[in-house]
Homo-oligomer: A and B are copies of this chain.
């Protein structure tokens, strides 16, 4: 995107060096896979620890298993400005999702030191534990923990004989102290992340200033039909669960398209879909589908859910199937970015010479959890084709460095407030 800037307050090569170093620490033959709670994860942590220490930062692992590196400010008690993201990946993931944000946070700290800039505030760089949906089926373990909202009933979740509680302990955390150590001293939290969507690339902008992280609601629908012999049951005599579910999928797509027409971010996706008995000569008796709906605007989500209820009810009647009332299996509200921070980030883009726009995040991020305990906001940098969670995931060094410069400028600005 951006023509390489020559007057940046950060060093692009050092950022890329961290990204490349972590990219080498992948499951053999499976680029780029470094899952939280696997044997490989600590290798990434060791790599980061060494970099953090080489930068003169004071490191520790907090109760929730986050790796935290600190540079003390001149005025203890003003609170901490925190920057960071996560170093874990999805299976067969990419080199930038989360990782770019950690590398950039470190680079801001290093650049401040290089330029002899001493902040009034303490500055912390964080690598959150297990942002991606982990082997325990839940995401954002570390940021939920730091915010004091990690549900204790999740501790006993188990995967392959490992509990989440033990997993946190293995990462160096102390589950029993998560609640008491919930952070109340943070003045502001900022995260840089790749966009994971096509908007910046398409519009040729350098930076997205994130107005809100969309709320994510997962809705399960079961369509119950009747298994009949596919050859002998006349077409007019069926309760075909797949035929009914197909109309539901089409309706959900149309509804989502109309809700996404406005300026506010909305998506709905049927990502999981399975049929029973799934046999060539049997009319499908049952379909389970799972909708992932995301809205910047809570009212849009409520409208979607209400329309879905109506649609399901009507389709059940029309198709002779039984469509149970759609069930919200998880429901997180949208998280607006802190208005003051958004203004600071806009100004920081101008100072860095970065073209920018405000936009919502359709993806979930650690920032949404940090917003529970402090002013929080994030910026996006462009990524190739909007692709993420895949080995092809790619972002230009210069685009990431420009984002680092924006954060650098924002930190300088925030320190004065």
Chain A residues within 8 Å of B, Cβ to Cβ: 133, 195-199, 214, 216, 218, 227-237, 240, 242-243, 245-250, 253, 256-257, 260, 266-275, 278-284, 290, 292, 294, 361-364, 386-390
- A229-B388 in contact (CB<8A): yes
Q: Which residues of B contact A242 (CB under 8 A)?
A: 249, 270, 273
From A195, A227, A363, name the one whose CB has the most chain B CB atoms within 10 angstroms: A363
- A240-B260 in contact (CB<8A): no
- B232-A361 in contact (CB<8A): yes
- A362-B280 in contact (CB<8A): no
- B290-A270 in contact (CB<8A): no
- B228-A257 in contact (CB<8A): no
- B247-A235 in contact (CB<8A): no
Provide a sorted-by-A list of 7 A–B residue pairs whose CB atoms are within 8 angstroms. A197-B237, A229-B389, A232-B361, A232-B388, A233-B362, A273-B284, A280-B290
- A232-B362 in contact (CB<8A): yes
Contact partner, A235, options B133, B218, B235, B267, Cβ 8 Å: B267
- B269-A234 in contact (CB<8A): no
Q: Which residues of B contact A218 (CB under 8 A)?
A: 280
From DSSP, what is the main secondary structure of chain A's interface residues?
mixed
Contact A236-B257, Cβ < 8 Å, known A231-B363, A246-B250, A274-B274: yes
Q: Which residues of B contact A282 (CB under 8 A)?
A: 269, 271, 389
- A237-B386 in contact (CB<8A): yes
Assembled-state Cα–Cα distance A230/B233 (Å): 38
- A233-B273 in contact (CB<8A): no
- A278-B283 in contact (CB<8A): no
From A229, A278, A364, name the one whose CB has the most chain B CB atoms within 10 angstroms: A229
Task: Tell me the number of copies of this protein.
Answer: 2
Assembled-state Cα–Cα distance A352/B281 (Å): 34
- B278-A230 in contact (CB<8A): no
Contact partner, A246, options B216, B230, B247, B269, Cβ 8 Å: B247
- Residue of B with least CB distance to A389: B229
Known: A231-B267, A236-B257, A237-B386. 15 other contacts (CB 8 A): A214-B231, A216-B231, A230-B362, A231-B362, A235-B253, A235-B266, A236-B260, A240-B253, A242-B270, A243-B249, A243-B253, A269-B283, A271-B283, A274-B275, A280-B292
From A230, A274, A290, name the one whose CB has the most chain B CB atoms within 10 angstroms: A230
- Residue of B with least CB distance to A199: B234
- B271-A232 in contact (CB<8A): no
Contact A271-B267, Cβ < 8 Å, known A231-B294, A232-B388, A260-B234: no
- A280-B272 in contact (CB<8A): yes
Q: Which residues of B contact A273 (CB under 8 A)?
A: 242, 273, 275, 278, 284
Q: Which residues of B contact A274 (CB under 8 A)?
A: 274-275, 278
Assembled-state Cα–Cα distance A281/B131 (Å): 14
Contact A363-B229, Cβ < 8 Å, known A271-B281, A290-B280: yes
